[in-house]
Amino acid sequence: MKVPFVDLHAQYVSIKPEVDAAIAAVIHESGFVRSRFVDEFEASWAQTLGVKHCVSCANGTDALYIAMRGLGLKPGDEVITTAHSWIATSETITQAGGKVVFCDTEEETFTIDPAQIAAKISPRTVGIIPVHLYGQSADMDAVMALARRNNLWVIEDCAQSHLATYKGQMLGTFGHAATFSFYPGKNLGAMGDAGCLVTNDSMLAEWCALFARHGGKGDHVMEGINSRLDGMQAAILSTKLPHLATWTVQRQDHAAEYGRGLATLPAVRRPVVRPDCSHVYHLYVIRTTRRDELKIHLQANNIATVLNYPRALPFYPAYRYLGHRPEEFPNAFQHQQEILSLPLYPEMRADALAYVIDSIREFFASPRV
């Protein structure tokens, strides 16, 4: 048996007539840019989350950049974010003119550690970007309390956490703004790049929409950029959205199955779900000190695994100029050596799951070399 890391084709096949019809409709109406398809998706995504505004854009990275520009980031302003994320979270701080300030993560959840945020707040700090990594929330009570006390804005990076909740409240509704990616492999994925930001702040939404579209059409009230969701992607996303809740439950069911299958292996640490919160398992990430050997063993069994991510952000060449040392981010540094993302996608079959579990059990049953 061969188990891919994700299987986007399986999802397409499961809803092929709907997707094909949506694409045909866009072509029929030539609704390629700024069409009703975009308006419709923005409205339904805002409604799904229970927020006032959704401003679509080209991808989740642009969404972060646009949101920070909208919040008025100025040169020299410091933005605090997590050491453990995709580089889009931090590179956009720099692009928007700010200074990246990394924070270590919590030992169990891989999300930003509020105690560390408190230690990094300076007179120049203007905002915090928590990332709901792998599909579960950061400690939002603590993050929002710190933000209120220090008069900081919060942008939630929800690129991996579509429909996840924190104490019953939808992620993306806590911060001043939240950003989403609809990259094909994300929990809600387009067939190309796509993203958006959401907010309840009408002025912010209006500014961001203008900025993303050259500062306005016909009347350029300012210089902007060109970052748009195209009609085809919007129509595909609208077609997929009604299925998202079901796909999320399927992800959670598969994660539970992994959990049962791996529970008896003391050498494997399974994902820890924050109490009273939901995890939507964009990724199912285990920890083991024998990570590299296990990855090779699974590869030999035709099971694809991924490192999300091979290093914590402060340790990439891109951030060498900050001169960080491993001791400054002990959890993120430890995690980068132990994490392994297992195959997980809604359409994953029971036999594939069982095969992955068996292969992992087989690895730990064999004597250590």
Ligand X SMILES: *Cc1c(COP(=O)(O)O)cnc(C)c1O
Contacts with ligand X, residue ranges (CB under 6 A): 59-61, 85-86, 88-89, 131, 157, 159-160, 181, 183, 193, 195
Closer of 175 and 195 to ligand X (Cβ): 195
Smallest separation, CB 195 to ligand X (Å): 5
Return the closest-CA partner of residue 49 out of 154, 239, 200. 200
- Which region holds residue 214: left if phi is over 0, alpha if psi is between -120 and 50, else beta? left
The C-alpha atoms of residue 210 and residue 191 are separated, in whole angstroms, by 25
> By C-beta, is 146 or 159 nearer to ligand X?
159
| Residue 325 Cβ vs ligand X, minimum distance, rounded to whole Å | 24
Q: Which residue, 66 or 356, is less far from ligand X as judged by CB?
A: 66
Kindly state the smallest distance separating residue 44's Cβ from ligand X, in Å: 19
Q: How far is CA 164 from the centre of its chain?
A: 11
CB of 165 to ligand X, least distance (A): 18
Please name the residues in contact with 203: beta carbons below 8 A apart, sequence gap of 6 or more: none
Least distance from C-beta 133 to ligand X, angstroms?
Answer: 7
CA dihedral of 221, 54, 181, 122, whole degrees rounded to 10? 70
Instruction: Respond yes or no on whether the N-terminal peptide bond of residue 321 is cis (omega within 30° of 0).
Output: no
Structural contact between residues 337 and 291, judged by C-beta atoms closer than 8 angstroms? yes
Judged by DSSP in three states, 203 sits in helix
Q: How near is the Cβ of 161 to ligand X at its closest, in Å?
A: 9
- Using the minimum distance from each CB to ligand X, give the nearer residue, 11 or 160: 160
Which residue number, 160 or 248, has a Cβ lying nearer to ligand X?
Answer: 160
Show the tokens assigned to 259.
Answer: 């959990």
Joined together, the tokens standing for residue 13 give 């096949």
CB closer to ligand X out of 85 and 199: 85
Residue number of the CB closest to ligand X reads 60
**Shorter beta-carbon distance to ligand X: residue 93 or 131:** 131
Residue 96: partners with Cβ closer than 8 Å, 6 or more residues away: 65, 68, 69, 73
Nearest approach, Cβ of residue 24 and ligand X (Å): 25
**Helices vs. strands in the chain: H and E counts, helices first:** 13, 11
